């Protein structure tokens, strides 16, 4: 399996809290992605990055931010968590445009 | 609108049997089509990637086919095992830039002993 790690695996927080989901990969991939996945539903792109200091917004980016200061690290921050943010968040990386996406095992977030 | 549809939504088969999962897409232009396997509580894992010129690609007991003219793909699983129980996701890329992936909702496969 690919070396891409997400922490925490599970998180329960209260409404209004600021949280950061961590994602790290040891493969030296330039491209990294954050996806949101609800049970039985499609993955939706939140943010992506082509490399250090390069980030772009996806379809669901309006309530979160990312940074890419180092190649291996791509954290996702929710400034003020809401119950609608309850979901699974998947981080992925890839080497080239047509390379497979390598996914982490996700963070299951519950906002109460 | 770029879309990927998968059928059936869920499928139950007995261990040792074969099965075929379907993927129809309306993504244009087309760059490549991917199949991923996602175990419960885990991230998806790549099974195959096919470009426009490829009709068939195998990965062990998994064989994917692509008909770019009819915009259909299938994933055939041979001699199923209990460990094949998972969701299988079809993903289409409309360009070579590598971020505009269109994900299907997946087919949930359960293999029973």
Q: For B43-98, write each residue's pLDDT tens digit.
A: 999 999 999 889 999 999 999 999 999 999 999 999 999 999 999 999 999 876 66
Residue of B nearest to A57 (CA): B99
pLDDT in tens, B29-41: 888 999 999 999 8
Q: Which residues of B touch A31 (CB under 8 A)?
A: 98-99
With an 8 Å Cβ cutoff, are A56 and B99 in contact? yes
Per-residue tens of pLDDT for chain A, all 112 residues: 558 999 999 999 999 999 999 999 999 999 999 999 998 889 999 999 999 999 999 888 778 999 999 999 999 999 999 999 999 999 999 998 778 999 999 999 999 9
Choose from A5, A9, A97 for mutation: most chain B CBs within 10 A.
A97
**Where does chain B show beta strands of DSSP type E?**
4-7, 10-14, 19-25, 32-38, 45-51, 56-59, 62-67, 72-77, 86-93, 102-103, 107-112
* Identity of the residue in A58, A97, A103 whose CB atom sits nearest the CB atom of B43: A103
Q: Are strands A107-111 and A10-13 parallel, antiparallel or unpaired?
A: parallel
């Amino acid at each position: 399996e690919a070396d891409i790690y997400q922490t925490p695996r599970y998180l329960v927080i209260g409404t209004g809290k600021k949280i950061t989901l961590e994602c790290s990969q040891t493969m030296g991939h330039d491209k990294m992605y954050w996806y949101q996945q609800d049970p039985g539903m499609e993955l939706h792109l939140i943010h992506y990055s082509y490399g250090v200091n390069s980030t772009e917004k996806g379809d669901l980016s309006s309530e979160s931010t990312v940074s890419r200061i180092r190649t291996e690290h791509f954290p996702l921050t929710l400034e003020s968590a809401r119950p609608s943010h309850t979901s699974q968040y998947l981080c992925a990386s890839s080497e080239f445009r047509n390379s497979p996406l390598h996914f982490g095992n996700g963070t299951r977030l519950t906002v109460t | 609108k770029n879309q990927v549809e998968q059928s059936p939504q869920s499928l139950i088969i007995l261990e040792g049997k074969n099965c075929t999962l379907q993927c129809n897409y309306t993504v244009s232009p087309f760059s490549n089509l991917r199949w991923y396997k996602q175990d419960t509580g885990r991230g998806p894992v790549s099974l195959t990637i096919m470009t426009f010129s490829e009709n068939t690609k195998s990965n062990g007991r998994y064989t994917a086919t692509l008909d770019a003219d009819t915009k259909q793909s299938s994933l055939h699983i041979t001699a199923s095992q209990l460990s094949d129980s998972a969701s299988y996701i079809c993903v289409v890329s409309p360009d070579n830039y590598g971020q505009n992936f269109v994900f299907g909702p997946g087919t949930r496969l359960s293999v029973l002993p």
